[in-house]
Structure 1
Amino acid sequence: MADRTYGEIPGYPVGSAFTNRAELAKSGVHRPNQAGICGGKDGAESIVVSGGYPDDEDFGNEIIYTGHGGNDPQAKRQIAHQKLIQGNAGLARNQFEGNPVRVIRGAGGDNDQSPASGFRYDGLFRVVDHWHEIGKDGYRIWRFRLTKIDSNANPSPASRTEPAGRASATIQRIIRSSANARRVKELHDHRCQVCGLRLETPAGPYSEAAHIKPLGRPHDGPDVQGNILCLCPNHHVLLDSGAIYVDDHSVVRSAVDDMKLGELRTAGKHIIDYTFVKYHREHYGISEIEIELHDHGG
């Protein structure tokens, strides 16, 4: 694995401009001369958003970023499916490790967000979600939702070679609270619908409400009981990452080997809407999709 440097690069504050990719690479803000993602399956340091993929969406403080692979750089169109490998796997890893990503915008990107020429470093972003879908050109693409980190809370640079304790962490998931979420947890007596575990704490039982179809853009799932599962923290993470999914027969399966893990536990007054289950399976389930097992990074 290559050494990774997460966070700001000394001497290059937000707004730093670069004439070309060679100058950008020399600075260390984004090291590759061509690739849009600097990273491997262990994590991703930086990305360039420059209009190379037709499915990219740039809203300023929020970016829906298309992973690498399967793209014809001349036509700027997808010609093959993408895989969750190399930099794509790195961005997915960042979501769970909490490592920030440096975002660089190029002149070819969104007119309202990009520089008129060259490249510009636009700060640190957090990967808050990743999923797959069929893109505009008819091929499977991996998508990553990134949100900008408050400049007053920017993590300091962190390298794999630094002593323990110097790397900063960022919050990985917003925990939402709503009447519907509380009701679902109460209906299941705070027992996980996958494993049946009920966590007891001095303050009472603990469980998490997992939205099957995510609430955030671009999924826009509703905050209703039919879109919520009561899960333990472990199975919440596995559901969000696509490591487990629910089939149309209410069987929970592992997405890695399609092994049956058991039937989804039910409660009489909690009716799950399987439209959301199907959506999750089609966008997060990764059975029959190539997952990287061996990669030396880049």
Structure 2
Amino acid sequence: MRLSDIDLEVGETYSSDGLQSVFDRGLTGRGIEICYDSEDRRYLRLFARGDGPYADILGGNEFTYIGEGQSGDQELTAGNRYLAEAETAPLPIFFFYKSADADGWEYRGQVEVLDYERVRRNGRRVFEFTLTYQTRDRVDQSSHASDISPPRRIETRRSRVVRDTQLSAQLKEEYDCECQICGDVRQRSPGERYAEAHHIRPLGSPHDGPDIRSNLIVLCPNHHADFDYGVLSVDPDTGRVAHAYDQTVDGTTLMTRQDHEIDPEYLRYHNREIADF
């Protein structure tokens, strides 16, 4: 699935199966999902529930979305970090809402991050993200719940990192789309394999990692997300895999071809700046 192929209708309600069909991936249960398309372009999916635990403030032209983390102080890691970075490095963010009595997720449109701050709420510190809809995704108030009013129109300028898609495609072909962490292969269709290329030191601000072979590894979608969420790391000296909770891969060794040399400095950067365990 390429981002340009996504076909969503604002105001339409989608089941879990429907979302998997549109995005070529299922739901993780997180409020902030870090995703990639077939060209390894990152995008986010945001989910808010009317009966959810975060008490998002969804009224007005701009609305407040509470970061992820249901207990203790929220940290600027995983989905919170990627959503915060979107303030200065915009990327596609698809927003879905589910009222307390709804069966599916209503698509509210693509949103942008205007601002965020860490505040104290109910005895703990949480991140409040101020979001607004993109100008092309105007919400029809008559067909939506009254908790969100139509977004204002604003003029924005967007930028994204230009990736060398041929480089990642070649690496995935060399590994025959086998995940370097678990060895599994995902089938996009009966005759087509699928994998994702992960930049160990992420591209773009504030990480500014390079788009080169020694900064890339081939992963299944699950372990790609685990790297982004900071629950998976690789020892730069031994290649030993550490996972915060998945014992099936914790303690194994990263599978690497002889002609694919990974720069240990990028692994050290990930372990220092992104890993969260």
Q: Which has the higher contact order (CA 8 A, sep 6+)?
A: 1
Larger Rg, first or second structure (1 or 2): 1
